[in-house]
Amino acid sequence: MGKKLRNLALAALAIGLAAPAAITGQSKKQSDDAAVIRNLDIFNSIYKELNTFYVDTLDAKQTITTAINSMLDNIDPYTEYIPAEDQDDFMVISTGEYGGIGSYIMTRHDSTGVCISEPYEGSPAAKAGLKPGDRIVAIDGDTATKWKDGQVSKRLKGQANTQLKLTVVRPYVSDSVKTFTITREKIKVNPVPYYGVTHGNLGYINITTYNEHTAEQVKAAVEALQHNPAVKCLVLDLRGNGGGLVDEAVKMIGFFVPKGTEVLQTKGRNTLNFKSYKTTEDPIAPTMPLVVMVDGGSASASEITAGALQDLDRAVVVGSRSFGKGLVQQTRQLPFDGMLKVTVAKYYIPSGRLIQEIDYSHRNADGEAQRIPDSLTTVYHTAHGREVRDGGGITPDIKVTYPELNRLVYNIVRDNWAFDFATKYAAEHASIAPAAEFAVTDTIFDEFKRFIDPKRFNYDKVCEQGLSQLKKVAEAEGYMTDSTKAEFAKLEKLLKHNLDHDLDNNRKAISQLLSGEILKRYYYQRGVIENSLNSDEALDKTEAMISKPGEYEHLLNLDAKTKTKAKTPAKRAASKKRNGK
C-alpha cells in the first residue's frame, strides 16, 4: 500500500471510530491527524492544478510564502515565518549587533528613492560624514535610485572591516553629489541612548529595547547615577520600548529586588513550556525610590519589567496603559534554513496575573481578534495588598494622558515636511544651542510655515468632509430646504480650513516634531531625548510625587509592608492561590 493510500486509510479509520456520542482521547487525536493529512493533500493538489493550468506562470516561492503567512496571521501577529534571507534582520533585534555602516534609512514617498534617515552616533556612517536627508544614488557603482529600502539595507550591511563606496545627493547645498568610502564595522545598537539627572533630583535612564546588552548598559547607568548625591529617585523610561529578550528583563528587575525573587512564570500547553524566572544576583539599588514610565508602545519585556516591579511594590508606574502582550515566542529551525518564531506560552507576573489584552483564540465573525473587556478582568493583589487587574496591559499608578496626533500633524510627518525642513535648516546653520537649551523660536516656526508649499501640502480637512457628508444625508432624507441651505452656507464659511491658522493652532505639537528633527542632525538621538525632558508631563508628575513627603510610600502601600511580612507561610500560600498562582 502506498504512503498516500495508507494516510487515507488512517483518515477513514479515524472517522469511522469517532462515534458522535463520545470520542476517546486517542480516537480524537487520530481524527485530528487525519484532518491534517486530508487538508494538506487538498492544498498540495490545488497548488499542483494551479501550477499546471493557471493562465500565467506562478512564482512558487511567493505563492507558498503568501499561503504560509496567511495561515500564521490567523493565529497571532507574533508567530511568523522567517526565511533564510530575512534572518539577519531578526538577529539584529535579538543581539543588537550587525556588520554595516550604522544608520537608519527610509524610502521616501515622493518617488525620490531611499535616503539616510539618521546615522547612529559614532558609527562609520556618522564618522564618514553622512547626514539625514542624503539620497542614495549608487552603491559600489551600481545605480540605486529605484531600489527599495530592503535592497539598499542588504547592500549596506556586510562583514566588518570591508569597504563600500556610497554616492549620495545632498539637498540644499551647492556641491550636492558626494561620494564616501566607508569601512563597515560591527555595529552595536545601544539600548540606553541617554541617561542623566533631570528635574533636579531624578536619575533618568532611557531604555529603547531589550537586546543582549540591555542589562549591562542599565546597570552601568544605575551605578553612575547612584554615585550622584543629587539623585533621590531612579526613573526607567520604557515608553515606546517594544521589548525583546525576556532574560534581560529578569536581570534588570534583579537590580532592584532581593536575590532569589520570583519575577515571572511562563505556562504553555504542557509542562515543557513551564518555567519560573528568579533573580540570581544581589541587587545594586535595593532601596532607592524607583519609577517606571510606560505608554501604549511599551510591550513584552517592557511590561514584564514594569509589571513585576509594580506587583512587588518596588516601583511606582507612571504614564499610560501599556500595550498588553503577555505571549512568549521561541524560534524553531525549518528545512532549507528557514525559521519559525512561534508563540509557545503566556507569561504571568508575580501577582499571578496575565496582562495579555487581545484574545487571539476567539475572533469576531469578520476574523478580527477580540479584546478582553474590562468587565471580564480579574482583580489580583500586589505584595502589599494593592489591587491590580489582568487582561489589559499594565495600568499606571500615576496616569498621564498624552495628546492624540491629529491629521494635520500626521501628514506633516508622513510627507516629510518636518524632516526636509530640518535638513534645510542644518544645511544653513553650522551650529545650534546645546541640546538641553534648544527651542523652536518664533523665527524658526515662521520659517517652517513659509517652507510649506500650500499647493503640495495635502491634509484631511475633517470638518469640511464631515459637512459635505451631512449635506448628502440631508438631501437624501429630504431636509435640504432653502433655510437649511442657508445654514449650511454659514457653516461652510465658519468651518473653512485655513492652513496658516491650522499650523498656528497646532504649534506645540509641530514644534516638538521640528525640535526632534533638528536636534538629531547635531546631537543625534542623545540630544533629542535630553531636550524632550524639558517638557515631559510624566517627569513633572514624578517630580511632584517625589517632592511630596510620604507620597511615594503611600502609593506603594508601604505601611502594609510589616503586615505582609507577618503573614504565616500558610496565609501567603492561600493568598497566592487566590491570585491564580
233-237: strand order across its sheet: 194-198, 202-206, 233-237, 290-294, 316-319, 398-399
pLDDT at 578 over 60: no
Of all residues in the chain, what percent carry a pLDDT higher than 70? 89
325: Cβ–Cβ under 8 A, 6 or more apart, which residues? 78, 243, 299, 300, 303, 355, 356, 357
* pLDDT computed for residue 110 by the predictor: 76
Mean pLDDT of the chain: 88
More confidently predicted of 19 and 250 = 250
Task: Answer whether residue 415 shows pLDDT above 50.
Answer: yes
pLDDT at 552: 97
CA distance readout (Å), 429 to 255, 433, 444, 514 = 44, 11, 12, 15
Q: Is residue 516 over pLDDT 60?
A: yes
Instruction: Annotate 299-324 with DSSP letters as a single string.
Output: -THHHHHHHHHHHTT--EEEES----
pLDDT band at 87 (very low <50, low <70, confident <90, very high): confident
Q: Which residue has the cell 529578550?
A: 245
Span 463-501, pLDDT tens digits = 666 777 888 888 888 888 888 888 877 777 666 668 888
The H or E element spanning position 421 is helix 417-428
Could you tell me the pTM of the whole model? Answer: 0.84
Q: Among 23-27, 141-145, 240-244, 482-486, whose mean pLDDT is lowest?
A: 23-27
What single DSSP character describes residue 558?
Answer: G
pLDDT of 463: 66
So what's the pLDDT on residue 460?
Answer: 64
- Does pLDDT of 85 surpass 90? no
pLDDT-derived band at 144, boundaries 50, 70, 90 = very high
pLDDT of 180 strictly over 90: yes
Q: Which helix (H) or strand (E) holds 399?
A: strand 398-399
Cβ within 8 Å of residue 115, ≥6 positions away? 105, 106, 108, 132, 133, 134, 135, 136, 168
CA distance to 22, 84, 104, 263, 329, per residue, from 347 (Å): 34, 29, 32, 10, 10
C-alpha 261/C-alpha 277 separation (Å) is: 8
- Residues 331-370 have pLDDT tens digits of 999 998 899 999 999 999 999 999 999 888 777 776 777 7
User: Is the predicted pLDDT of residue 133 greater than 60, yes or no?
Assistant: yes
Question: Contact at 8 Å (CB) between 367 and 285?
Answer: no
pLDDT at 289 over 80: yes
- In angstroms, how far is CA 544 from the centroid of its own chain? 29
Task: Write the DSSP symbol of residue 171.
Answer: T
Q: What is the pLDDT of residue 24?
A: 58
Active-site annotation, residues = 300, 311, 325
3-state secondary structure of 142: strand
Residue with cell string 545601544: 190
State the DSSP string of 439-488.
---HHHHHHHHHHS-TTT-----HHHHHHHHHHHHHHHTT---HHHHHHH
Provide the residue type at 451 as one letter.
F
